[in-house]
Amino acid sequence: MTVDQISRQVLIGVDVGGTNTDSVLLDPNEFDQEHRGVLAWNKNVTTDDVSEGIEAAIAKLLEDNKSVKTSDVAAVAIGTTHFINAVIEQDQGRLEKVAVLRLCGPYSKAMPPFSDFPEGLKSILDGYQGFLSGGHHVDGAEILPVDEDQVLEHVAKIKELNLNAVAVTGVFSPMTPVHEQQVADIIKREMPGVQLVMSHEGKYKLSFNRLGRFWAHLRSRTGNTHSTPGQTSS
């Protein structure tokens, strides 16, 4: 293997639009060449299942340039308006009801979850609301401790409604997230496979482990048995 092959790093970009999904495979070391570093590109109609469309787009890029191994990929950048479009269009086919558990003690009940949502969107998303003991003051002091029995009561109601998406929000959790984490652990124990987000996280984060699992799945679909990004091929 040559030095160039060992050090080669390429980039993948995927833009998922409402109509088309565009993807490109770039070599930053070739930006000054006539092809501007573009090794492969493709455009396909955006699929109903966005994840499948992204996988197919990346697989096609690697298929079109077989000299690139998955271990050469330094980064994958994915941009999409899919979620925004679903919200703006109030598309029931792409949105599902969410259970919101607020850890607030006696506070903030005058402004329940979804209060400022448009009525149409609220009717699609509002699956369940629960106000629980927990949360913190701005100085980090507890409002009330988490009550596990209370959490279990709400979990039972959520399960009766066949909901699988839960948001846990605690007063001042960005500064003191411990109560959100405690409640999330209980929910995950009682509802394996639940889609759960805590408000202190701010947004969903793609961990390296999830990226590794995605890459392994992609390799199985493309027949590429090389290593995942960040690993050395044996």
- CATH number for the domain spanning 20: value is 3.30.420.40
What's the confidence (pLDDT) of residue 167?
96
| Separation between Cα atoms, residue 215 and residue 228, nearest integer Å | 6
Please give the chain's pLDDT, 234 residues, in tens: 444 445 578 899 899 887 889 999 988 887 777 778 888 888 988 887 778 888 888 888 888 888 888 888 888 888 888 788 888 889 888 899 999 999 999 999 999 999 999 999 999 999 999 999 999 999 999 999 999 999 999 999 999 999 999 999 999 999 999 999 999 999 999 999 999 999 998 644 444 445 556 566 666 655 554 444 444 444
Provide the H-helix boundaries in 41-173: 50-64, 82-89, 119-125, 148-160
Q: Same structural domain for residues 100 and 197?
A: yes
Same domain, 193 and 101: yes
Considering the domain architecture, whether residues 74 and 102 belong to the same structural domain is answered as no
pLDDT score of 229: 47
Q: Same structural domain for residues 102 and 191? A: yes
Q: Is 71 in the same domain as 100?
A: no
Provide the CB-side half-sphere exposure for 88 (13 A, CA). 6
Evaluate if pTM is beyond 0.85. no
Let me know whether 110 and 181 are in one domain.
yes
According to the model, what pLDDT value does residue 197 have?
94
Q: In terms of residue numbers, what domain contains 61?
A: 10-85
- CATH number, residue 179: 3.40.50
- Looking at residue 82, its pLDDT comes to 78
Calpha distance 198→56 (Å, rounded): 31
The 3-state DSSP class for residue 109 equals: coil
Number of domains in the chain: 2
Q: For residues 101 and 196, state if they share a domain.
A: yes
Distance, in Å, from the CA atom of 203 to the CA atom of 213, rounded to the nearest integer, reads 20
Give the CA distances from residue 83 to residues 1, 40, 214, in Å, rounded to whole numbers and listed in that order: 43, 27, 20
**43 part of a folded domain:** yes
In a domain, 45, yes or no: yes
Position 177, amino acid = P
57-to-22, 68, 98, 173 alpha-carbon distances in Å: 8, 15, 30, 38
